[in-house]
Amino acid sequence: MKNLRYCFTWAFIIIFIYVNVLVTPYLTHAEGFDSVIQRPRSRLRRTRTRSKWVLYVGDYGAKGDGLHNDTEAFLEAWGIACSLAGFINVVFPFGKTFLVHPVDIGGHCRSKITLTISGTIVAPQDPVVWLGLNQRKWLYFHGVNHLTVEGGGTIDGMGQEWWARSCKINSTNPCHPAPTALTFHRCKNLKVRNLMLINSQKMHLSFTNCMRVVASHLKVLAPASSPNTDGIHISATKGVEVRNSVIRTGDDCISIVRNSSRVWIRNISCGPGHGISIGSLGKENKWETVQNVIVDGAYLYNTDNGLRIKTWQGGSGLASKITFQNIWMENVSNPIIIDQFYCDSRNPCENQTSAVRVENISFIDIQGTSASDEAIKFACSDASPCEGLYLENIFLVSCFGGNTSSFCWQAHGSARGFLYPPPCFSFTDDFIRQNVLVDSNPAIHSV
């Protein structure tokens, strides 16, 4: 009996060792085991940190072949991400193309979401898909806080059919709205980085009524002939940084409009396109402001305009405390321009007395070549002249030889350092002395 108990004890020990030491690790790590015995799989993939989750849109039915509609899969993954607490990553994986129809994606979410776009998201090619929907939006995010959109992938608006139907391309076509590819509305603490946006139906990337935004390391690309395809559009947004990005489109590389402030733009390559614009402001007699803007470090080439402020007659409000500095231009028409008579209309605009005030605008360390003889143009309102304009170290020569010039109408300011072309408003005695020395040096005029 004693021997029998002894045998049972050793048998139990041997079985225990076999199961827990030899078999279990093998089942856990052996390749191909899941094809024999499969555990229930969760579509939530937890990372090492307990509060972080990763959701792949493919786990929710997305095909990623560019043909099947993956919109519902995206919305399902987003809905789950928004409902969870913690840090959630929604992933469009690399190497796949996801067809996504117009979507309206709202907060408020419990989580801080990162939308990782490593593959490609494409829009429907046919504008008919938007029938009955808001034709101004494709990928529309609103009320989402602490959102990051990144991943190194591409957002393709497939805008060719929209462009062909535009009244800007064919004046016999009726003028209809077209979607902005990626819109963020009333979002806070937003980061958009390391993405390519191409061929948007209209504007590529828009921030409206947002706060605390950083957009960086972006490539925004569309043909120079594509209508209204602004690169980055900033409206009624406060606290924006745009940096280290390349923008080549058919309209403004960056446009900053109504009631935006504390905007910092640096290290931007722009062109082709319409340059970097403040405005337009004051259309349809509206009151609008843009204040506290710094553009520091930009390369503009083959653009229709360079650094521009544009306002409509009849408007009101203020464009103030705006600085453009450290800019290099190549073959740019209208390198420096303030236009308070802006009119983007099929019909002539009515002359009106009221105007958006333009004041305290600085242009510092700006060099390059102008594609027009008039390298500096300040066309300001009779009723509301431009005040506090400041020029420092400007050197803009003609692409084609000959001289460049400045034009002023109701523009007042000061200048310092070397300026070519010479300014057309009053300047200090120090500037006069410096300019006399420059005029006496023939080497300067041979450049």
Q: Enumerate the domain spans of the chain.
A: 44-244, 252-447
* CATH class in words for 44-244: mainly beta
**DSSP string for 166-225:** -TTT-TTSPP----EEEEEES-EEEEEEEEEEES-SS-SEEEES-EEEEEEEEEEE--TT
| Amino acid 317: pLDDT | 97
Residue 33 in this model has a pLDDT that exceeds 80? no
Q: In terms of pLDDT, which residue wins out, 3 or 317?
A: 317
Prior bond to 422 cis, omega within 30?
no
Which H or E element spans position 163?
helix 160-164
Q: In terms of pLDDT, which residue wins out, 40 or 251?
A: 251
3-state secondary structure of 286: coil
Residue 72 in this model has a pLDDT that exceeds 70? yes
As to burial, measured by CB atoms within 10 angstroms (0-12 exposed, 13-18 middle, 19+ buried), residue 267 is middle
- Domain 252-447 annotated CATH 2.130.10.10: no
| Per-residue tokens: 414 | 């000061």
Which H or E element spans position 77?
helix 71-83
Q: What mean pLDDT is predicted for residues 426-446?
A: 39
Prior bond to 29 cis, omega within 30?
no
Q: Across the strands, what pairs with 155?
A: 121, 197
| Per-residue tokens: 447 | 């450049």
| Per-residue tokens: 96 | 């796949």
**What is the helix, strand, coil percentage profile of the chain, to 5?**
15, 45, 35
Q: In terms of pLDDT, which residue wins out, 72 or 442?
A: 72
| Arithmetic mean of pLDDT over the chain | 87
Q: What mean pLDDT is predicted for residues 266-285?
A: 97
Amino acid at 18: Y
Active site (annotated) includes residue 68: no
Q: d(Cα 128, Cα 135) in Å, to the nearest integer?
A: 10
The candidate with the shortest Cα–Cα distance to 305, out of 324, 285, 284, is 324
Residue 19 in this model has a pLDDT that exceeds 70? no
Same-fold call for 44-244 versus 252-447: yes
Tell me: the pLDDT tens digits for 82-121? 999 999 999 999 999 999 999 999 989 999 999 999 999 9
Of the listed 142, 274, 412, 445, which one is catalytic? 274
Q: Across the strands, what pairs with 330?
A: 301
